[in-house]
Homo-oligomer: A and B are copies of this chain.
Amino acid sequence: MKNKIVILFSGGMDSTTLLYSLLDSGNDVYALGVNYGQRHARELIAASEIAKKAGIPYEIADLRSIANLINTSSLTNKNIPVPEGHYEANSMKITIVPNRNMILLSVAAGWAITLKATEIAYAAHAGDHAIYPDCRPEFIAAMVNAIQLADDLQVKLSTPFKTFSKADICKLGNKLRVPFDLTWSCYKGQDKHCGKCGTCIERKEAFELAKVQDPTIYDNEKI
């Protein structure tokens, strides 16, 4: 069935694969990017290019003006360096942006209600980390409930990848011919993916585990 769906779209490999999956099922998709002052606003350019290629509407919610209220993360505060190494490390906590996902989902829900969309799609997956409270399944379940109650339209928050690993997403994306070369993951947001931060390491691992060729040019490839 063709549904009108708002997707929370970062331009990364997860939400891009979700976007292609929704289009593959014949849905009418509206993509929402959010500029919350992230150091890697580079991802918004990636998202814009992908949406253009996919031929769907793409809007950016500009929340830079509230960045000062939630400015304790290395993702938004340029004075705090982005940690390197695998995500599991305790040091990755510094990348938490206070209540980021609720803010993003609430804006997406507002737009969905305005468009009379029936659904918000969000690419949360099983590999999301417990260090991020707002990625945990119990938080997502609470948001499903809150969004449904927020308007008489009873918009549904769907997370089709919640049982998928990032490698599973990579496999599906490969099958759907997702342009992975256009997607952006790196938290540092420079010209190339750094290859060292938590997201870069996971991106690489996902391609390796999925046995899909990684088209990414990493800055440290020579090492």
Are A139 and B134 neighbours in the complex by a CB distance under 8 Å? no
Are B110 and A99 neighbours in the complex by a CB distance under 8 Å? yes
Asked if A42 is at the interface (CB within 8 A of a chain B CB), the reply is no
Are A69 and B107 neighbours in the complex by a CB distance under 8 Å? yes
In the complex, which residues 32-61 of chain A have their Cβ closer than 8 Å to any Cβ of chain B?
32, 59, 61
Asked if A106 is at the interface (CB within 8 A of a chain B CB), the reply is yes
Are A138 and B142 neighbours in the complex by a CB distance under 8 Å? no
Are A62 and B66 neighbours in the complex by a CB distance under 8 Å? yes
Which residues of chain B have C-beta atoms less than 8 A from A98's C-beta?
109-111, 113-114, 151
Which residues of chain B have C-beta atoms less than 8 A from A69's C-beta?
32, 59, 61, 107, 110-111, 114
Name the CB-closest residue of B to A62: B65
| Most chain B beta carbons < 10 A, residue from A101, A113, A138 | A113
Give the oligomeric copy count. Answer: 2
Which residues of chain B have C-beta atoms less than 8 A from A105's C-beta?
106
Asked if A209 is at the interface (CB within 8 A of a chain B CB), the reply is no
| Most chain B beta carbons < 10 A, residue from A59, A102, A105 | A102
Name the CB-closest residue of B to A113: B98
CB 8 Å contact bits of A91-124 with B (1 = contact, 0 = none): 0000001111111011101110110000000000
Are B149 and A139 neighbours in the complex by a CB distance under 8 Å? yes
Asked if A174 is at the interface (CB within 8 A of a chain B CB), the reply is no
Q: Which of B32, B99, B107, B150 contacts A150 (CB 8 A)?
A: B99
Are A149 and B138 neighbours in the complex by a CB distance under 8 Å? yes
CB 8 Å contact bits of A143-158 with B (1 = contact, 0 = none): 1011101111000000
Which 5 pairs from chain A and chain B are nearest by CB?
Answer: A99-B110, A98-B113, A142-B146, A62-B65, A102-B106
Residue pairs across A and B with Cβ atoms less than 8 A apart, 10 shown, are A32-B69, A61-B69, A65-B65, A98-B109, A99-B106, A103-B103, A103-B110, A133-B151, A142-B149, A145-B145
